[in-house]
Amino acid sequence: MPEKRALLVVTSDNTQFYDDGKKTGLYWAEAIHPYNVYTKAGYDVDVVSETGSVFLDEHSIADDAMDEESKAAWHDASNPLKKVIEGGVLKPSEVDPSKYGIFYASGGHGAVFDFPSAKGLHEIASKIYANDGVVAAVCHGPAILPFIKDPTTGESLVKGRRVTGFTAEGERLFKVEDAMKKFDVHTVEELVNEVGGTYVQPPGGPLDDYCISDGRIVSGVNPASAASTAELTISVFEQLVV
């Protein structure tokens, strides 16, 4: 059976994406919140990206954009997750999927650039799922889900499944629709629907905390959902697996 261990999956992308010239990457809150949830629950946590490198979305580490938990961790030089990110994370070749009960893909707009082609991460997720683990993603992280193969069918893991993620309305709200078209990257909704999944709109606004599960697939909408998505993965893992 899979271990009480979570693999935090992050983007390697660092594209100069925003109109103000700032670069995209990993959204800090979507890493630190689940990390804290897992460690407080007694889970070991490792961090991996497709290349072994990781960059922070520059907007996500601006003081006025961070909640108090994220801000405290970011300004703490001894924070263990910050030290891991600054020191370099694991590559897929350094990960043994059999050790993990949970695969959790964090977001940031960088995810829509590299997650769809991150074959090493896709393979890890497929193996964790095959071993009765939970596959989860939050915000733009669900851009990885359509490209993970269901080990029993060879088709997309989310074909015929319900998945949520950052909304098209949210992209409009943050005025990045034109940038996404410029770089030819797609919304989570588009990617999920293309493989026969069902994208689920959050019942509230695009910034509300919302996450869902469909079997052992868990997904959340935005940075505000990062902690609750992690909590839901623990609930699913401990009910269905342990």
Q: Which residues are catalytic?
A: 139-140, 171
Largest CA distance in the chain: 48
| List of residues 6+ apart from 87 with CB closer than 8 A | none
- Written as six digits, the tokens of 172 are 């409009």
CA distances from 140 to 30, 62, 79, 91 (A): 10, 19, 24, 20
Q: Half-sphere exposure of 95 toward its Cβ, with a 13 Å CA cutoff?
A: 29
Structure tokens at 130: 């095959």
CB 36 within 8 A of CB 229: no
User: Tokens representing 40?
Assistant: 């407080």
Beta bridge partner(s), residue 133 = none
Q: In whole angstroms, give the CA distance from residue 227 to residue 222.
A: 10
Residue 105 CB partners (closer than 8 Å, separation 6+): 9, 10, 111, 115, 121, 125, 136, 137, 138, 141, 142, 144, 145
SS3 221: coil
